[in-house]
Amino acid sequence: MPSIRAMEPATRELFEQRVSMLAAGGKSMRDTALILSGEFPGYGISFGTIQYIASARDLHFSGSTQSLERDIELFEQPYEFEELRITDAPDGYKIIIVNDVQFPFHDPKTLTAVENFWDEFKPDLEVFNGDMIDFYSISVFDKNPTRAFNLQNELDVGRGWLERRVTRHPEARRILDDGNHEDRLRRWLRKKGPEVASLRALKLNALLGLDEMGIEHLPYRSVIDFLGYRIEHGYKTSTSTAYPVNVSRYMAVGTGSSGLCGHSHRFSIYAWTDARGSHSYIENGCLSRFDLEYAPFPNWQQAFTYGIVHNNKVHLVPVLIYRDGFRAEGEFYRR
């Protein structure tokens, strides 16, 4: 019997939409399989089919182990996220956005090249868009016993780099918008040390000295609305390594807004036009190394984005970094 792989693209998209709708409506996987086997006869719809779609699209079904795990995950998400709005900026105002540096797993050659541009560009706003520090030492994944660093080392490296950015261009405004890696600290404290989790000394802004450096801090899943352009760390990745889904399109559809995200370590741009005009969404790559043990031979791209304001609109330039370097503002920066 044919499987869902034999579906025409339009039929496959409709099928996956129905799976999502039934999941959102509180149906179990088994009920969903029974319903859709009637709606899409001849494709061998089974419980396993629904499990496959649920895994690929991160869906939450009622009455399953996955449901329980998802409920726990959602319960652990912070609810103090914020939306920081910047509604006005003069012509010539400059911004730079970087994410997924993941100290101490940063790529020194790439980061040096980006900083060389950074120092010449002299942005007025610097956005550290999440996963700046890996927090490998307190992750839930198995640790490589040959790695000699500890959590304090990770914090020292990240703090040292932030201090260097402040020293090189003290006039700039800076915002750190936590990613899921920074959020590891909150989750670890809640699970392993709830008795001390409320201590201000153990908050990220205290551990990194963000207040002393004048760096604004937003918790995980917060959003920066810069002149109507939505900047966030993001939460979506592609399940395919060889042929990754364009996450920028997913985020554009999900938010209904022009914007930028990190998280996926991949680079893409999605553009569309509607009654309001033209829009774009940027998937902003990473500045980390490509040899991490949890992602062998990753299909990642190094990138960052900068922009300049004109008529109170930000004109962004996403920069893909090649093996030998990148071009920006008419200059080549070798890595």
**Tens digit of each residue's pLDDT (9 = 90 or more) over 12-22:** 888 888 888 88
pLDDT of residue 330: 96
pLDDT of residue 281: 98
Instruction: List the beta bridge partners of residue 304.
Output: 319
Span of 18-22, 73-77, 273-277, 317-321 with lowest mean pLDDT: 73-77
Domain limits of the chain?
Answer: 4-76, 83-334
Please name the residue that has the structure tokens 């932030």.
162
Question: Do 245 and 13 form a contact (C-beta atoms < 8 A)?
Answer: no
Q: Which residues contact 275 (CB under 8 A, 6 or more apart)?
A: none
Q: In this model, does residue 279 exceed pLDDT 80?
A: yes
pLDDT of residue 60: 74
pLDDT of residue 62: 67
- CA distance to 10, 43, 143, 254, 306, per residue, from 247 (Å): 19, 28, 29, 10, 20
Q: Given 2.60.40.1890, 1.20.140.10, 3.40.50.1820, 3.60.21.10, which CATH number is that of 83-334?
A: 3.60.21.10
**For the residues 158-162, what does the mean pLDDT come to?**
97
**For the residues 282-294, what does the mean pLDDT come to?**
91
Strand 125-128 to 94-98 pairing: parallel
